[in-house]
Structure 1
Amino acid sequence: MVNKERAYEEFLVASARLNDAEAMAALVQLRGPRLLVHATRLLGNRDEAQDAVQDAWIEIFRALRQLRSDAAFAAWATRIVTRRCARIIAGNQRTRAIARELAPLTETAATENSDDVQLVQEAIASLPPQQAATVALFYLEDMSLAEVAVALDVPVGTVKSRLSLARERLKAHLKGAFDDQ
Protein backbone atom coordinates (compact mmCIF):
# COMPACT_ATOMS: atom_id res chain seq x y z
CA MET A 1 0.00 0.00 0.00
CA VAL A 2 1.30 3.44 -0.82
CA ASN A 3 2.45 5.53 2.16
CA LYS A 4 -0.31 8.11 1.61
CA GLU A 5 -2.92 5.37 1.65
CA ARG A 6 -1.43 3.89 4.84
CA ALA A 7 -1.45 7.33 6.48
CA TYR A 8 -5.07 7.82 5.42
CA GLU A 9 -5.97 4.40 6.80
CA GLU A 10 -4.27 5.23 10.11
CA PHE A 11 -6.26 8.49 10.27
CA LEU A 12 -9.49 6.59 9.61
CA VAL A 13 -8.63 4.05 12.32
CA ALA A 14 -8.00 6.81 14.85
CA SER A 15 -11.26 8.52 13.88
CA ALA A 16 -13.22 5.26 13.95
CA ARG A 17 -11.88 4.60 17.44
CA LEU A 18 -13.69 7.82 18.42
CA ASN A 19 -16.95 6.43 16.98
CA ASP A 20 -16.84 8.59 13.84
CA ALA A 21 -19.43 6.86 11.62
CA GLU A 22 -18.09 8.46 8.44
CA ALA A 23 -14.57 7.23 9.23
CA MET A 24 -15.92 3.74 9.90
CA ALA A 25 -17.71 3.71 6.54
CA ALA A 26 -14.60 4.99 4.77
CA LEU A 27 -12.47 2.35 6.50
CA VAL A 28 -14.84 -0.40 5.37
CA GLN A 29 -14.72 0.97 1.83
CA LEU A 30 -10.90 1.19 1.87
CA ARG A 31 -9.99 -2.12 3.54
CA GLY A 32 -13.16 -4.16 2.90
CA PRO A 33 -12.42 -5.33 -0.65
CA ARG A 34 -8.99 -6.62 0.34
CA LEU A 35 -10.44 -8.48 3.32
CA LEU A 36 -13.09 -10.01 1.07
CA VAL A 37 -10.47 -11.22 -1.43
CA HIS A 38 -8.48 -12.71 1.47
CA ALA A 39 -11.55 -14.46 2.92
CA THR A 40 -12.52 -15.76 -0.53
CA ARG A 41 -9.04 -17.22 -0.96
CA LEU A 42 -9.32 -19.04 2.35
CA LEU A 43 -12.89 -20.26 2.00
CA GLY A 44 -13.22 -20.80 -1.71
CA ASN A 45 -16.79 -19.51 -1.53
CA ARG A 46 -17.62 -15.85 -2.05
CA ASP A 47 -20.93 -15.98 -0.14
CA GLU A 48 -19.29 -17.49 2.94
CA ALA A 49 -16.45 -14.99 2.57
CA GLN A 50 -18.90 -12.08 2.57
CA ASP A 51 -20.51 -13.43 5.74
CA ALA A 52 -17.09 -13.87 7.39
CA VAL A 53 -16.00 -10.34 6.50
CA GLN A 54 -19.31 -8.83 7.62
CA ASP A 55 -19.04 -10.59 10.99
CA ALA A 56 -15.38 -9.61 11.20
CA TRP A 57 -16.22 -5.91 10.78
CA ILE A 58 -18.50 -6.11 13.80
CA GLU A 59 -15.68 -7.69 15.80
CA ILE A 60 -13.16 -5.19 14.43
CA PHE A 61 -15.16 -2.15 15.47
CA ARG A 62 -15.98 -3.61 18.88
CA ALA A 63 -12.31 -4.34 19.59
CA LEU A 64 -10.80 -1.29 17.88
CA ARG A 65 -10.02 0.40 21.20
CA GLN A 66 -7.72 -2.53 22.04
CA LEU A 67 -5.55 -2.02 18.95
CA ARG A 68 -2.24 -0.63 20.18
CA SER A 69 -0.95 0.82 16.91
CA ASP A 70 -3.05 2.32 14.14
CA ALA A 71 -0.32 1.30 11.70
CA ALA A 72 -0.96 -2.37 12.56
CA PHE A 73 -4.62 -2.18 11.55
CA ALA A 74 -4.29 -4.00 8.21
CA ALA A 75 -2.57 -7.05 9.68
CA TRP A 76 -4.80 -7.02 12.77
CA ALA A 77 -8.03 -6.83 10.73
CA THR A 78 -6.78 -9.54 8.38
CA ARG A 79 -6.07 -11.79 11.36
CA ILE A 80 -9.64 -11.30 12.59
CA VAL A 81 -10.96 -12.27 9.15
CA THR A 82 -8.59 -15.27 9.08
CA ARG A 83 -9.93 -16.49 12.41
CA ARG A 84 -13.53 -15.99 11.24
CA CYS A 85 -12.77 -18.07 8.17
CA ALA A 86 -11.15 -20.78 10.28
CA ARG A 87 -14.33 -20.98 12.35
CA ILE A 88 -16.44 -21.32 9.22
CA ILE A 89 -14.16 -24.04 7.88
CA ALA A 90 -14.25 -25.93 11.18
CA GLY A 91 -18.00 -25.51 11.41
CA ASN A 92 -18.53 -26.96 7.94
CA GLN A 93 -16.00 -29.75 8.60
CA ARG A 94 -14.35 -29.40 5.23
CA THR A 95 -10.85 -28.72 4.05
CA ARG A 96 -9.61 -25.33 3.03
CA ALA A 97 -9.96 -24.55 -0.65
CA ILE A 98 -8.70 -21.59 -2.68
CA ALA A 99 -11.25 -19.75 -4.79
CA ARG A 100 -11.38 -21.10 -8.34
CA GLU A 101 -12.18 -17.73 -9.75
CA LEU A 102 -10.03 -14.90 -8.48
CA ALA A 103 -11.51 -11.51 -9.00
CA PRO A 104 -9.04 -8.95 -10.28
CA LEU A 105 -6.94 -8.13 -7.25
CA THR A 106 -6.21 -4.57 -8.20
CA GLU A 107 -7.54 -2.17 -10.78
CA THR A 108 -4.09 -1.81 -12.30
CA ALA A 109 -3.64 -5.55 -12.64
CA ALA A 110 -6.77 -5.72 -14.76
CA THR A 111 -5.43 -3.14 -17.19
CA GLU A 112 -1.96 -4.66 -17.55
CA ASN A 113 -1.22 -7.50 -19.95
CA SER A 114 -4.30 -9.57 -19.19
CA ASP A 115 -2.87 -12.86 -20.51
CA ASP A 116 0.15 -12.63 -18.20
CA VAL A 117 -2.02 -11.51 -15.29
CA GLN A 118 -4.34 -14.47 -15.89
CA LEU A 119 -1.38 -16.87 -15.94
CA VAL A 120 -0.11 -15.48 -12.63
CA GLN A 121 -3.60 -15.66 -11.10
CA GLU A 122 -3.93 -19.27 -12.25
CA ALA A 123 -0.51 -20.06 -10.80
CA ILE A 124 -1.48 -18.54 -7.45
CA ALA A 125 -4.81 -20.41 -7.53
CA SER A 126 -2.90 -23.68 -8.03
CA LEU A 127 -1.06 -23.21 -4.73
CA PRO A 128 -2.27 -24.77 -1.48
CA PRO A 129 -4.56 -22.28 0.32
CA GLN A 130 -2.06 -21.36 3.03
CA GLN A 131 0.64 -20.60 0.47
CA ALA A 132 -1.75 -18.68 -1.78
CA ALA A 133 -2.87 -16.50 1.11
CA THR A 134 0.73 -15.89 2.17
CA VAL A 135 1.81 -14.94 -1.37
CA ALA A 136 -1.18 -12.66 -1.84
CA LEU A 137 -0.64 -10.81 1.43
CA PHE A 138 3.11 -10.44 0.95
CA TYR A 139 3.25 -9.55 -2.74
CA LEU A 140 -0.19 -8.23 -3.64
CA GLU A 141 -1.09 -6.50 -0.37
CA ASP A 142 2.53 -5.42 0.21
CA MET A 143 2.54 -6.57 3.85
CA SER A 144 5.83 -7.20 5.65
CA LEU A 145 6.76 -10.68 6.89
CA ALA A 146 5.72 -9.66 10.40
CA GLU A 147 2.39 -8.29 9.20
CA VAL A 148 1.66 -11.47 7.24
CA ALA A 149 2.51 -13.51 10.33
CA VAL A 150 0.05 -11.48 12.40
CA ALA A 151 -2.61 -11.62 9.69
CA LEU A 152 -2.39 -15.40 9.33
CA ASP A 153 -1.73 -16.00 13.03
CA VAL A 154 1.45 -18.00 12.39
CA PRO A 155 5.13 -17.48 13.29
CA VAL A 156 7.34 -15.42 10.95
CA GLY A 157 9.37 -18.56 10.19
CA THR A 158 6.24 -20.25 8.88
CA VAL A 159 5.58 -17.26 6.61
CA LYS A 160 9.14 -17.49 5.27
CA SER A 161 8.87 -21.23 4.59
CA ARG A 162 5.46 -20.84 2.92
CA LEU A 163 6.85 -18.08 0.69
CA SER A 164 9.86 -20.19 -0.21
CA LEU A 165 7.76 -23.21 -1.12
CA ALA A 166 5.26 -21.04 -2.99
CA ARG A 167 8.03 -19.35 -5.02
CA GLU A 168 9.33 -22.74 -6.13
CA ARG A 169 5.86 -23.91 -7.15
CA LEU A 170 5.07 -20.64 -8.90
CA LYS A 171 8.39 -20.72 -10.75
CA ALA A 172 7.74 -24.25 -11.97
CA HIS A 173 4.14 -23.47 -12.93
CA LEU A 174 4.97 -20.23 -14.73
CA LYS A 175 8.07 -21.62 -16.45
CA GLY A 176 5.89 -24.18 -18.19
CA ALA A 177 3.24 -21.59 -19.04
CA PHE A 178 5.67 -19.04 -20.47
CA ASP A 179 7.65 -21.70 -22.36
CA ASP A 180 4.44 -22.53 -24.24
CA GLN A 181 4.03 -18.93 -25.46
Structure 2
Amino acid sequence: MVNATPTQPAGGGDGGHRPTAEVSGPASELSERLLTARAAEGDDAAFETLVRRHGPVLLQLARRLLGNDGEAEDAVQEAFVSAWRRLPEFRGDAAFGTWMYRIVTNRCLNALRSRRRTQPLESVPEPAAPEHQSSPARAAESAASVHALATALAGLTPEQRACWVLRELHGLPYEDIAAAVGIGEPAVRGRIFRARRYLTEAMDTWR
Protein backbone atom coordinates (compact mmCIF):
# COMPACT_ATOMS: atom_id res chain seq x y z
CA MET A 1 0.00 0.00 0.00
CA VAL A 2 1.24 3.47 -0.82
CA ASN A 3 2.53 5.31 2.21
CA ALA A 4 0.69 8.59 2.56
CA THR A 5 3.63 10.46 4.08
CA PRO A 6 6.87 10.52 2.07
CA THR A 7 10.14 10.99 3.87
CA GLN A 8 10.77 14.68 4.41
CA PRO A 9 13.75 16.25 2.67
CA ALA A 10 16.91 16.58 4.72
CA GLY A 11 16.99 19.46 7.12
CA GLY A 12 14.71 18.25 9.89
CA GLY A 13 13.06 20.46 12.44
CA ASP A 14 10.33 22.90 11.64
CA GLY A 15 12.08 24.20 8.53
CA GLY A 16 9.57 27.01 8.36
CA HIS A 17 6.68 24.61 7.70
CA ARG A 18 3.17 25.93 8.12
CA PRO A 19 1.24 24.49 11.07
CA THR A 20 -0.65 21.40 9.95
CA ALA A 21 -3.59 22.24 12.22
CA GLU A 22 -4.86 24.68 9.59
CA VAL A 23 -5.58 21.76 7.28
CA SER A 24 -6.93 19.24 9.77
CA GLY A 25 -10.62 18.40 9.88
CA PRO A 26 -12.14 19.99 6.76
CA ALA A 27 -8.98 19.32 4.73
CA SER A 28 -10.78 16.90 2.43
CA GLU A 29 -13.10 19.73 1.38
CA LEU A 30 -10.36 22.18 0.52
CA SER A 31 -9.76 22.95 -3.12
CA GLU A 32 -7.02 21.19 -4.98
CA ARG A 33 -5.25 24.46 -5.70
CA LEU A 34 -5.21 25.50 -2.04
CA LEU A 35 -4.01 22.10 -0.88
CA THR A 36 -1.24 22.12 -3.47
CA ALA A 37 -0.17 25.63 -2.44
CA ARG A 38 -0.04 24.65 1.22
CA ALA A 39 1.82 21.44 0.47
CA ALA A 40 4.36 23.42 -1.54
CA GLU A 41 4.99 25.51 1.58
CA GLY A 42 5.76 22.35 3.53
CA ASP A 43 2.37 21.48 5.00
CA ASP A 44 2.46 17.71 5.57
CA ALA A 45 -1.26 17.39 6.23
CA ALA A 46 -2.16 19.09 2.96
CA PHE A 47 0.12 16.74 1.04
CA GLU A 48 -1.32 13.69 2.85
CA THR A 49 -4.78 14.79 1.72
CA LEU A 50 -3.58 14.99 -1.88
CA VAL A 51 -2.04 11.52 -1.58
CA ARG A 52 -5.30 10.07 -0.25
CA ARG A 53 -7.26 11.70 -3.07
CA HIS A 54 -5.04 10.57 -5.92
CA GLY A 55 -3.18 7.53 -4.59
CA PRO A 56 -5.77 4.84 -5.47
CA VAL A 57 -6.24 5.83 -9.12
CA LEU A 58 -2.50 6.31 -9.62
CA LEU A 59 -1.83 2.88 -8.16
CA GLN A 60 -4.44 1.44 -10.51
CA LEU A 61 -2.69 3.15 -13.43
CA ALA A 62 0.71 1.78 -12.42
CA ARG A 63 -0.70 -1.74 -12.04
CA ARG A 64 -2.24 -1.57 -15.50
CA LEU A 65 0.99 -0.35 -17.04
CA LEU A 66 3.37 -2.66 -15.20
CA GLY A 67 1.18 -5.69 -14.47
CA ASN A 68 2.88 -6.20 -11.13
CA ASP A 69 1.61 -5.03 -7.74
CA GLY A 70 5.02 -4.66 -6.13
CA GLU A 71 6.48 -2.67 -9.00
CA ALA A 72 3.35 -0.54 -9.17
CA GLU A 73 3.45 0.33 -5.47
CA ASP A 74 7.14 1.21 -5.72
CA ALA A 75 6.51 3.41 -8.76
CA VAL A 76 3.69 5.35 -7.09
CA GLN A 77 5.59 5.71 -3.80
CA GLU A 78 8.64 7.04 -5.64
CA ALA A 79 6.42 9.36 -7.67
CA PHE A 80 4.90 10.90 -4.54
CA VAL A 81 8.33 11.33 -2.95
CA SER A 82 9.53 13.03 -6.12
CA ALA A 83 6.45 15.25 -6.18
CA TRP A 84 6.94 16.24 -2.54
CA ARG A 85 10.49 17.34 -3.27
CA ARG A 86 9.52 19.17 -6.46
CA LEU A 87 6.38 20.88 -5.17
CA PRO A 88 8.12 24.23 -4.55
CA GLU A 89 8.86 24.28 -8.30
CA PHE A 90 5.27 23.36 -9.26
CA ARG A 91 3.79 26.32 -11.14
CA GLY A 92 0.23 25.08 -11.31
CA ASP A 93 0.05 25.03 -15.12
CA ALA A 94 -1.96 21.83 -14.72
CA ALA A 95 -3.95 20.30 -11.88
CA PHE A 96 -2.01 18.36 -9.26
CA GLY A 97 -3.66 15.12 -10.38
CA THR A 98 -2.63 15.67 -13.99
CA TRP A 99 0.92 16.42 -12.85
CA MET A 100 0.99 13.18 -10.86
CA TYR A 101 -0.24 11.24 -13.88
CA ARG A 102 2.80 12.54 -15.74
CA ILE A 103 5.23 11.55 -12.99
CA VAL A 104 3.77 8.06 -12.51
CA THR A 105 3.52 7.42 -16.25
CA ASN A 106 7.13 8.49 -16.74
CA ARG A 107 8.35 6.14 -14.04
CA CYS A 108 6.33 3.27 -15.47
CA LEU A 109 7.57 3.97 -18.98
CA ASN A 110 11.17 3.84 -17.77
CA ALA A 111 10.47 0.50 -16.09
CA LEU A 112 8.78 -0.88 -19.21
CA ARG A 113 11.63 0.24 -21.47
CA SER A 114 14.16 -1.39 -19.18
CA ARG A 115 12.05 -4.54 -19.05
CA ARG A 116 11.86 -4.80 -22.84
CA ARG A 117 15.65 -4.67 -23.03
CA THR A 118 16.22 -7.36 -20.43
CA GLN A 119 13.14 -9.58 -20.19
CA PRO A 120 11.77 -12.16 -22.61
CA LEU A 121 8.07 -11.87 -23.37
CA GLU A 122 7.21 -15.00 -21.39
CA SER A 123 8.52 -13.45 -18.16
CA VAL A 124 6.35 -10.33 -18.27
CA PRO A 125 4.02 -10.48 -15.25
CA GLU A 126 0.30 -10.72 -15.83
CA PRO A 127 -2.18 -8.24 -14.36
CA ALA A 128 -4.20 -9.69 -11.51
CA ALA A 129 -7.46 -11.28 -12.63
CA PRO A 130 -10.63 -9.83 -11.11
CA GLU A 131 -12.59 -11.91 -8.65
CA HIS A 132 -15.66 -13.63 -10.06
CA GLN A 133 -18.74 -15.04 -8.40
CA SER A 134 -19.78 -17.01 -11.46
CA SER A 135 -19.15 -20.62 -12.41
CA PRO A 136 -15.62 -22.12 -12.36
CA ALA A 137 -15.81 -22.39 -16.15
CA ARG A 138 -16.48 -18.64 -16.47
CA ALA A 139 -13.71 -17.90 -14.01
CA ALA A 140 -11.28 -20.09 -15.97
CA GLU A 141 -12.29 -18.42 -19.22
CA SER A 142 -11.76 -15.00 -17.66
CA ALA A 143 -8.35 -16.00 -16.33
CA ALA A 144 -7.36 -17.18 -19.79
CA SER A 145 -8.52 -13.91 -21.36
CA VAL A 146 -6.55 -11.92 -18.77
CA HIS A 147 -3.47 -13.93 -19.69
CA ALA A 148 -4.14 -13.29 -23.39
CA LEU A 149 -4.53 -9.55 -22.76
CA ALA A 150 -1.33 -9.45 -20.70
CA THR A 151 0.53 -11.16 -23.53
CA ALA A 152 -0.99 -8.78 -26.08
CA LEU A 153 -0.13 -5.70 -24.03
CA ALA A 154 3.43 -6.94 -23.70
CA GLY A 155 3.63 -6.84 -27.50
CA LEU A 156 3.02 -3.10 -27.57
CA THR A 157 5.79 -0.55 -27.26
CA PRO A 158 5.89 1.18 -23.85
CA GLU A 159 4.51 4.39 -25.41
CA GLN A 160 1.66 2.54 -27.17
CA ARG A 161 0.77 0.73 -23.95
CA ALA A 162 0.80 3.95 -21.91
CA CYS A 163 -1.28 5.87 -24.46
CA TRP A 164 -3.83 3.06 -24.73
CA VAL A 165 -4.18 2.59 -20.97
CA LEU A 166 -4.45 6.32 -20.29
CA ARG A 167 -7.10 6.76 -22.98
CA GLU A 168 -9.13 3.56 -22.85
CA LEU A 169 -8.94 2.70 -19.15
CA HIS A 170 -8.51 6.12 -17.51
CA GLY A 171 -10.31 8.33 -20.03
CA LEU A 172 -7.66 11.05 -20.19
CA PRO A 173 -7.93 13.63 -22.98
CA TYR A 174 -5.32 13.51 -25.72
CA GLU A 175 -3.71 16.70 -24.44
CA ASP A 176 -3.05 15.21 -21.01
CA ILE A 177 -1.81 11.94 -22.49
CA ALA A 178 0.63 13.85 -24.68
CA ALA A 179 1.97 15.68 -21.63
CA ALA A 180 2.20 12.48 -19.57
CA VAL A 181 4.03 10.48 -22.25
CA GLY A 182 6.11 13.39 -23.55
CA ILE A 183 4.98 13.32 -27.18
CA GLY A 184 2.69 15.43 -29.38
CA GLU A 185 -1.06 14.87 -29.69
CA PRO A 186 -0.81 13.55 -33.30
CA ALA A 187 1.72 10.98 -32.08
CA VAL A 188 -0.64 10.02 -29.23
CA ARG A 189 -3.49 9.44 -31.68
CA GLY A 190 -1.23 7.38 -33.91
CA ARG A 191 -0.02 5.19 -31.05
CA ILE A 192 -3.55 4.63 -29.78
CA PHE A 193 -4.74 3.70 -33.28
CA ARG A 194 -1.92 1.19 -33.71
CA ALA A 195 -2.45 -0.19 -30.20
CA ARG A 196 -6.19 -0.65 -30.81
CA ARG A 197 -5.55 -2.41 -34.11
CA TYR A 198 -2.91 -4.68 -32.62
CA LEU A 199 -5.01 -5.58 -29.55
CA THR A 200 -8.11 -6.17 -31.67
CA GLU A 201 -6.21 -8.67 -33.79
CA ALA A 202 -4.46 -10.26 -30.81
CA MET A 203 -7.69 -10.64 -28.83
CA ASP A 204 -9.88 -11.64 -31.79
CA THR A 205 -10.57 -15.11 -30.40
CA TRP A 206 -11.97 -13.60 -27.19
CA ARG A 207 -14.50 -11.29 -28.87
Cα 1:120–1:76 change in 2 (3 A) is farther
1:73 aligned to which of 93, 96, 116? 96
Q: Is the 8 A contact 2:148 2:203 kept in 1?
A: yes
Q: 2:167 maps to which residue?
A: 138
Q: Is the 8 A contact 2:161 2:195 kept in 1?
A: yes
Q: 1:83 maps to which residue?
A: 106
Listed as ranges, the matches of 1:101-180 within 5 Å are 101-102=127-128, 125=150, 126-127=152-153, 128=156, 129-173=158-202, 176-178=205-207
- Bigger RCO of structures 1 and 2 (CA < 8 A, at least 6 apart): 1
Q: Alpha-carbon deviations, 1:104-134, whole Å to 9, x = none?
A: 6xxxxx9xxx98x989966753232433321
CA positional deviation for 1:168: 1.9
CA positional deviation for 1:151: 1.1
Cα 1:163–1:173 change in 2 (3 A) is same
CA positional deviation for 1:29: 1.6
CA positional deviation for 1:35: 2.2
Q: 2:79 maps to which residue?
A: 56
> How far apart are the structure 2 equivalents of 1:143 and 1:37?
14
The answer for unaligned runs of 5 or more in structure 2 is 1-29, 133-137
Q: Alpha-carbon deviations, 1:34-85, whole Å to 9, x = none?
A: 2223333443432122222212111101112222226433332222223333
Give TM-score, length-normalised by structure 2.
0.60
Give TM-score, length-normalised by structure 1.
0.67
Q: Is the 8 A contact 1:44 1:99 kept in 2?
A: yes
Cα 1:147–1:167 change in 2 (3 A) is same
Q: Flag the structure with higher helix content.
A: 1
Cα 1:171–1:84 change in 2 (3 A) is closer
Correspondence 1:46 to 2:46: no
Q: Is the 8 A contact 1:38 1:133 kept in 2?
A: no
Cα 1:43–1:95 change in 2 (3 A) is farther
The letter for the 2-side match of 1:59 is: S
Cα 1:100–1:91 change in 2 (3 A) is closer
Correspondence 1:36 to 2:47: no
Q: Alignment partner of 1:48: what SS?
A: helix
Q: Is the 8 A contact 2:63 2:72 kept in 1?
A: yes
Cα 1:102–1:70 change in 2 (3 A) is farther
> How far apart are the structure 1 equivalents of 2:47 and 2:129?
25
